[in-house]
Amino acid sequence: GAGVSQSPSNKVTEKGKDVELRCDPISGHTALYWYRQSLGQGLEFLIYFQGNSAPDKSGLPSDRFSAERTGGSVSTLTIQRTQQEDSAVYLCASSPAAGGTDTQYFGPGTRLTVL
């Protein structure tokens, strides 16, 4: 079946603009995760959803970042007033349920460049 998809694959924006990143998880997966990988860094956890609710938003770097998930499916990560330090690859993953033993399936990522 179809894997996790993300759009756009690449996004170049100017500092101060808002961007919206989209993630389509695997159908039926209730858990959805957002990570970002900055150059030379590991995967930094941002937020996860169990269904439509986000029990833990502590990973979001600032209040310019927000995320929502509707219908237990598609999720969007919004970054307002982008800064150059927001440049990174943003990865989305889904799993059947939230929990350590459930494998996460990652999308290909969105490469965000803030000029």
Partner 1 sequence: DQQVKQNSPSLSVQEGRISILNCDYTNSMFDYFLWYKKYPAEGPTFLISISSIKDKNEDGRFTVFLNKSAKHLSLHIVPSQPGDSAVYFCAAWDSGTYKYIFGTGTRLKVLA
74 or 80, CB closer to partner 1?
Answer: 74
CB of 56 to partner 1, least distance (A): 6
Helix (H) or strand (E) holding 77: strand 75-79
Q: Would you say 14 or 41 has its CB closer to partner 1?
A: 41
Least spacing, CB of residue 13 vs partner 1, in Å: 20
Q: Is 54 helix (H, G, I), strand (E, B) or coil?
A: strand
Q: CB of residue 47 vs partner 1: minimum separation in angstroms?
A: 10
- Residue whose token pair is 């803030």: 114
Closer to partner 1 at the Cβ: 80 or 108? Answer: 108
CA distance 19 to 114: 10
Please give the residue ranges that form the binding site for partner 1 (CB under 8 A): 4, 33, 35, 40-45, 48, 55-56, 58-59, 91, 93, 98-101, 103-109
CB 28 within 8 A of CB 2: no
Q: Six-digit token pair at 25?
A: 């998880």
